[in-house]
Amino acid sequence: MTPSASPRAYDAIVIGAGFAGMYQLLRLRDTLGLSVRVLEAGSGVGGTWFWNRYPGARCDSESHSYMYYFSKELVQEWEWTERYPQQPEILRYLNHVADRFDLRRDIQLDTRINEAHYHDTDDLWHVRTESGETFVARWLITAVGCLSAANIPRIPGLEDFRGAWYHTGQWPHEGVDFAGKRVGVIGTGSTGIQAIPVIAEQAAHLTVFQRTANYSIPARNGPLTPEFKRYAKARADDIRYVMNTNANGHPFRVADRSALSVGEDERHALYEAAWAKGGLEFRAVFRDLLQDRAANDTAAEFIRAKILEIVKDPGKARILSDIDHPFASKRPPVDSGYFETFNRDNVELVNLRATPIERITPTGIRTAAGEHELDIIVFATGFDAMTGSLLKMDIRGRGGRSLREDWSAGPRTYLGLQVPGYPNLFTITGPGSPSVLCNLPPQIEQHVDWITACIRHMHEQGIARIEPTEEAAGRWQLEVEAAAKATLLADVKHSWYLGANVPGKPRAFMPYAGGFGRYRDRCDEVARTGYPGFRLER
């Protein structure tokens, strides 16, 4: 791309062409009639699902909930094949959406943004890409995803490793051939738990390096029956209503009973039924699993017993079930044969708590107990979540203030939608919104609809700038902290919700844990009552 001498002007620049960016484009362009440019670093649309192509990559939300609901026609015409959509299928869906709504003509691919500066002199955002192209726009909307900046731990010696290594979030498009190879996987979060069973089937030998043992619930994936497909279409409005009004954006309600209000036999039977059904719905068996430690212990004990039952080698079973945090206080994975994989002869488990990694050598990974020879290392080590993708760009607001500096003690937003000092910048699923604690497509639709209505209001009222007051952002920060403290989520010291997985990152609980339905009501009330907490300037 040749750097343009004078910047190209649009009403709005949207950063990212995943679920969020594409829907925001549609709303601003087709509902409000604005000129919009979507700038996307990847060479295709899809965001998270463009990059995360590792073996076994699949969404943990069920297919009929992991889609847009804004268009009844789209809901009726798209057909998912399995209970949980695989990465290639989600990518096909998003490409279908791009074509169906004629979005591609306003999406510029292979375009990474380096800086976005607000100029007080013209009230515009000035955006510069890696290749030197420049844009100006009144509105800047980030749709960069919550989990897109890869976290590659700085383990000494990686540069000397003679084999190949990959991060799951930056997977080669041509795939990786594991046949006959000795593979090491570092990380046992949702990603590692999805990838490990698939890699184990392909590789000659797999060594799993586990730092923190994890709970996992069987997904019970399988093809969708014709009856279910008919149900999902016929009841689409009801499904959408449930997702939009409950705490987590998933298509199920949390039961209204306490784990401690039923007898042991009944509790066990309910857990067994939920285990047999599988999926994220397991945590909806009781209402207090995330609020009450004693209630949570009953679920934790049930899952530990399952691990001990499934994994035949007592040494491996002990390491896998020695879990140090309450169930679902870190993102709870769902799996297809994860614990069963450790019964394979070609799978070895290394407990990094007992024998930490010392360094990567030219031929493998050396722990305190010795060397593991490897041809391939897979980092399933997660992301610099929620703030990483925003802070990779140099974003500057009024008077040249820098977002990196303003957030050096942790992110500060009002409703996760806007940042004080950064007029007309909107952050879709930004820190301070339910985001990662919620099924993301409904949360994205809610944010995009709110932002669209806000911009429409400003046009109608002749308002040029909107930004939250410092005071409103400060109060919201306290609410975000209080919402987390009312749950067991805040008790976990080593969680990416807190930024604890990235060395040097400030510790602040980032997503809003007060529930999606409640959050939506709050946002709606703010809009209805003339945007209190925001400063609107003509």
Q: Site residues (CB under 6 A) for ligand NA7? A: 147, 153, 186-192, 209, 211-212, 331, 352, 380-383, 436, 494, 496, 501
Going by their DSSP bridges, the two strands 36-39 and 107-108 should be labelled as parallel
Least distance in angstroms from the C-beta of 418 to ligand NA7: 24
Integer Cα distance of 514 and 176 in angstroms? 41
Least distance in angstroms from the C-beta of 500 to ligand NA7: 8
Residue 270 vs 386, nearer CB to ligand NA7: 386
- Quick one: CA torsion of 418, 420, 424, 429, rounded to 10 degrees? -10
How far apart, in Å, are the Cα atoms of 66 and each of 233, 297, 344, 428, 441? Answer: 14, 30, 33, 17, 6
Integer Cα distance of 434 and 431 in angstroms? 8
Least distance in angstroms from the C-beta of 194 to ligand NA7: 8
Residue 260 vs 368, nearer CB to ligand NA7: 368
Integer Cα distance of 459 and 462 in angstroms? 5
Residue 55 vs 187, nearer CB to ligand NA7: 187
Residue 211 vs 250, nearer CB to ligand NA7: 211
Q: How far apart are the first and last CA of the chain?
A: 37
Least distance in angstroms from the C-beta of 212 to ligand NA7: 3
Least distance in angstroms from the C-beta of 233 to ligand NA7: 27
Q: Which residues contact 497 (CB under 8 A, 6 or more apart)?
A: 330, 331, 385, 436, 437, 484, 489, 509, 510, 511
Contact criterion met (CB below 8 Å) for 76 and 121: no
Least distance in angstroms from the C-beta of 438 to ligand NA7: 11
Residue 382 vs 468, nearer CB to ligand NA7: 382
Least distance in angstroms from the C-beta of 189 to ligand NA7: 2
Least distance in angstroms from the C-beta of 538 to ligand NA7: 41
Least distance in angstroms from the C-beta of 38 to ligand NA7: 23
Residue 333 vs 468, nearer CB to ligand NA7: 333
How far apart, in Å, are the Cα atoms of 182 and each of 168, 347, 373, 376, 378? Answer: 17, 10, 7, 6, 11
Residue 141 vs 365, nearer CB to ligand NA7: 365
| Nearest in space to 235 (alpha carbons), one of 75, 438, 93, 79 | 75
| Nearest in space to 213 (alpha carbons), one of 109, 93, 354 | 354
Going by their DSSP bridges, the two strands 370-373 and 376-379 should be labelled as unpaired
Residue 308 vs 352, nearer CB to ligand NA7: 352
Residue that the structure tokens 């939920």 belong to: 274
Cite the beta strand spans of 193-331 per DSSP E: 205-210, 217-218
| Nearest in space to 451 (alpha carbons), one of 475, 430, 431 | 430
| Cα atoms in the 13 Å half-sphere on the side-chain side of 197 | 16
Q: Which residue is nearest to ligand NA7 (CB)?
A: 189
How far apart, in Å, are the Cα atoms of 107 and each of 4, 21, 94, 211, 247? Answer: 18, 9, 13, 40, 33
Residue 188 vs 427, nearer CB to ligand NA7: 188
- Radius of gyration of the chain from Cα atoms? 23
- The dihedral built from the CA positions of residue 221, 227, 229 and 233, taken in this order, carries a sign that is negative
Residue 80 vs 383, nearer CB to ligand NA7: 383
Least distance in angstroms from the C-beta of 495 to ligand NA7: 8
| Three-state secondary structure call for residue 13 | strand
Neighbours of 181 (CB within 10 A): 18
**93 Cα distance to chain centroid:** 18
Least distance in angstroms from the C-beta of 387 to ligand NA7: 14
Least distance in angstroms from the C-beta of 494 to ligand NA7: 6
Residue 192 vs 442, nearer CB to ligand NA7: 192
Residue 216 vs 427, nearer CB to ligand NA7: 216
